[in-house]
Structure 1
């Protein structure tokens, strides 16, 4: 049973208050220390944020795609590194298990994931398999009642702290993406699993990513997610929903930047008057607000289609592509409106500007999103 509209509305208000009153005051500390204070993680657990998309029967809140987008939009208003920890877990880190896992592994893992006691991650990318996600080199071979994994994943969000990871590996090289890739749920304590080098990134401080290494890693056969060989299809399903969540976060960040920019424009006086009276500033704010609203509508449409049981692959790609590009444009204009202050690290504008850039790259580059959208349009209009 999903949360009601009234419950989602109440949660929206609660999350808005939470990020403004409890997370924002620690945003600069997160930035300076590259670490999220434990009390903020504990508060997220208390609010049920780690179980946003996990059904109630497993201890989660069980929001549908629309409800989740509404919540993630509010979370997007605060430090993006903090939000990334939560959204990587509730999105691509757990969606596969919720949608495709057997009842046995759902019962085993989902309650602790919903409580935030087990942190999830998603491991698809490899040095030779980024945008070309089918070019995997990580292999899995069946031996008795176990699968033996060998390979390397990289840029894995939550990699250094994850307890359970959805991992994709080649199980039949001849079939490749058409029946030869399988998804597995791997625990960090399985023999042969290790965490590699941690990434030093431009932004998203407090959110850590790293290599994940498999050296004869032993995975029980019951930890296959979905059907053997159908992992690539599973990946597309998981990423589709994840892209809607990412778009929602980008919308929330854009809305926050617009508010900060408008307030600053009203307060900043130059040549004896607030800069808000200048047409150049007004036009920037108008473009920022209009494009953000358009991104929001695209995002909610994609979420609505998912809730109706439709694939919405094209719409999810549209939302992710457009919302991330709007976020980057809004961040750029916010820096311009704030002038020198927008470039200073002690102020949040500079942080949002750096954090925006990755949104056009991860969970599928925007170039790949355009390819996906175009393919759907061409297929829909075949003569």
Structure 2
């Protein structure tokens, strides 16, 4: 792990009046870029060839023929592979880049290289990024247990006697999921064999899979922000996911689902988009209490603790109990729904449109003005 002191040494050489916000061109980069422009900070996106036009063309800042300005991305560096970002870090440092990590950055670069080789200031908690890996001993489940937070209890394959969800990566699309459900050990084995046969999962990943009780109820992703400058937690927004092919399955009558051929029978859980949501007000205090416990646990076990955006992904049962089934210790995947217009909670709090991307930029901007930039980077 790159020591924080080394990052602060890099930061000492930065021209703090010319800080640039950087992000990998995937996941939530548009939200980060839009938010930076709202706060008047320049944006640099590192994209991969073949996936670069979204950033280099369609949302690139430019003038129209009649002189109007549109777009919000200042500059794009196009690499042959995302992982090549390690090779351009000196260039990023020369441009005073503060990099905002997202899940794509960690997956495509590799968590080891992010921790040990990427000598560029990250806005957020570098040492918490590994906790997102379920196979790690000190994963977010370990942290949730230490914090005393509720999560679906784990189940051994031979002990399956009610509905469970099996969590493991997709065999081919490594950023995606090879999740499936089962209500008995026999069903677990049958589905695992079929999914392996169709190339959705591998036996190696299955051996390390997380199996946990399935919580029947709606899901809410709570997009929080912890400010080291103010030492306060903010709820910016709530979102939920569109997943293929799960969402297609649930639109079919049960009788039609039963007629699907073998290769379509098991739904996949690939996230393709998000929608905005709100929560009944009587439940909000429970949600803030969960966030407070999480923040305190990160400060105790992963000092300096969570910095900036994080998402608690939850399911709610019929007794209105929350269960945290996933944690994103960085900007969440659904924050693009906040772009340009913010979200009811963040907007109400700040009395202006406040997206996750804008809140990140605002924290960096305030940290520069208050000479507190050291507090928000690792």
TM over 0.5: no
TM range (shorter): under 0.3
Higher relative contact order (CA 8 A, sep 6+): 2
After TM superposition, the score normalised by the length of structure 1 is 0.26
After TM superposition, the score normalised by the length of structure 2 is 0.27
Higher share in helix: 1
